[in-house]
Structure 1
Amino acid sequence: MPRFMGFVKMEEGGGLPPQALFEAMDKYIGEQAGAGHFLDGGGLFGTEDAVNFVVKKGEVTRVDGPYAEAKEVVGGWALLQYDTLEEAIAGQQEFADLHATYWPECRMVATLRQISDEQPESSDA
């Protein structure tokens, strides 16, 4: 059964969502988990404590947050499982619709990406 990652990108520092959205999301996630679609997920804190490791030209550099240049950040994630891509798209649409309904002033992007289950070929020599 195909698995997917859902990401929510939004403006940093946009404030807390209204209680009505939390309640609608609790219900939605409960229904999705009960149907076997929502496997795990959650919200993320802001970038003030984020740590990035940048690899460039064979060198690794650590960069600690906050990141003044960050306008949009990943604010949440979900590990999802559906029978088809079409069902996954419909589920992500419903998720985005909840935000439009219960937090209309929010500016966000809900992204859905399928997880590659391909394993690299091993070279048993």
Structure 2
Amino acid sequence: MPRFMGFVKMEEGNAPAPEALYKAMGDYVGELAAAGHFLDGGGLFGSEDAVNFVVDKGEVTRVDGPYAEAKEVVGGWALTRYDTLDEAIAAQREFAQLHATYWPECKIVATLRQVSEGD
């Protein structure tokens, strides 16, 4: 069964999400987990403590946050499993709709990508 990674990108420094969204997300994730679709996931702290390693021309450089130039950051992620891509897409749309319903003033991008299982 294919695995999928969902990401939520949003502007850095947004106000906290409303409690109603957290409750709706908890219920939704609970349903996905009970059906065997949700494998793992969670929200991420802001980029102020982020650490990046930049590889450029064979050199590795560590760059610590915060990043003034960052407009959008990954705010959360989920690893899921579905029988088909269409099922995964439908679930990611439901996830995005929860944000539209319970946090309409936010602007997010909910991205879905299939996890490579091969070499």
TM-score by length of 1: 0.94
**1:23 alignment partner AA:** K
User: In the alignment, what sits opposite 2:62?
Assistant: 62
**2:109 alignment partner AA:** V
Larger radius of gyration: 1
**1:93 alignment partner AA:** R
Question: Deviations along 1:20-51, whole A, 9 cap, x unmatched?
Answer: 00000000000000001110000000000000
Query: Any stretches of 5+ residues in structure 1 without a counterpart?
Result: 120-125
User: In the alignment, what sits opposite 2:75?
Assistant: 75
Query: Any stretches of 5+ residues in structure 2 without a counterpart?
Result: none
SS of alignment partner, residue 13 of structure 2: coil
Question: Deviations along 1:45-92, whole A, 9 cap, x unmatched?
Answer: 000000000000000000000000001000000000000000000000
C-alpha distance in 2 between matches for 1:42 and 1:15: 18
Residue identity over aligned pairs, in percent, reads 78
User: In the alignment, what sits opposite 1:39?
Assistant: 39
Question: Cα distance, 1:6 vs. partner?
Answer: 0.2
**1:75 alignment partner AA:** G
SS of alignment partner, residue 113 of structure 2: strand
1:116 correspondence with 2:119: no
Question: Cα distance, 1:15 vs. partner?
Answer: 1.2
C-alpha distance in 1 between matches for 2:5 and 2:87: 14
1:50 correspondence with 2:80: no
User: In the alignment, what sits opposite 2:4?
Assistant: 4
SS of alignment partner, residue 106 of structure 2: coil
SS of alignment partner, residue 31 of structure 1: helix
C-alpha distance in 2 between matches for 1:58 and 1:71: 28
1:28 correspondence with 2:28: yes
